[in-house]
Chains A and B, each alone.
Chain A
Amino acid sequence: MTLRNHPPAEPDIASLKAHALDLRRKMMGMASGKGEGYIAQGLGIADCLAALYFHEMRHDPARADWADRDRFLLSTGHYSIAMYAVLAQAGYLDVAELPSYGINGSALPMSTFDTTNGVEIVGGSLGHGLGQAVGMAMGLRLDGSPARVFCEFSDGELDEGSTWESAMGAATFKCDNLVVLIDCNGIQADGPVTVAIEPVADKMTAFGFETYEIDGNDMAALAEALGKCREPNGKPKAIVLRTIPGFGIPTIMARERAHFVRVGNDEWDALIAELEHENA
Chain B
Amino acid sequence: MPDSQTLGNRTRGMGEIVDIAGKTTEIAPFGNTLAELGRERPEIVGLTADMGRYSDILPFRDAHPDRFFNVGMAEQNLVLIAAGLSKVGKIAYCTTYSVFVTRRAYDFIAIACAHSMANVKIFAGMPGLLNGYGATHQATEDLNMMRGIADLTIIDPCDATELKQVVRAVADIPGTVYVRNLRGKVPVELPADYKFELGKAKVLREGNGEIGMISTGYMSARGLDAARIVQSEGHDVGLLHVGTIKPFDKKGVIEFARRHKRLIIAENHKTTGGLASLVIEALYEAGVYMPVVKIGLADSFFECGSQEYLEKKYEVDLPRFVRAIREGV
| Interface set of A (CB-CB < 8 Å, partner B) | 33-37, 77, 102-105, 109-111, 113, 122-127, 156-157, 159-161, 188-190, 193-195, 197, 260, 262-267
Contacts and interface: CB of A to CB of B under 8 A. Distances in A.
Dominant secondary structure at the A interface: loop
21 contacts: A36-B2, A102-B11, A104-B10, A104-B306, A109-B11, A109-B134, A109-B305, A111-B136, A124-B136, A125-B103, A127-B73, A156-B72, A160-B74, A161-B77, A188-B73, A194-B70, A195-B72, A197-B72, A262-B13, A264-B2, A265-B3
B137 interface: yes
B72 A265 contact: no
Interface string B4-30: 111101110111100000000000000
A260 B13 contact: yes
A113 B72 contact: no
Contacts of B134: 109-111, 113, 124
Interface centre among A125, A161, A197 (most CB of B within 10 A): A125
A36 B12 CA distance: 9
Given A188-B50, A189-B54, A262-B1, A109 B72 contact: no
Shortest Cβ-Cβ A-B pairs, 3 listed: A124-B136, A195-B72, A159-B72
Contacts of B16: 36
Interface residues of B, number: 43
Given A104-B306, A109-B304, A265-B3, A188 B136 contact: no
A156 B6 contact: no
Given A102-B11, A262-B13, A190 B133 contact: no
Given A104-B309, A195-B72, A265-B2, A189 B137 contact: no
A195 B6 contact: no
A103 B10 contact: yes
B2 A105 contact: no
A51 to B, nearest CB: 27
Contacts of B132: 110
A126 B3 contact: no
Given A124-B135, A189-B14, 5 more contacts: A36-B2, A102-B10, A110-B132, A159-B74, A262-B13
A35 B137 contact: no
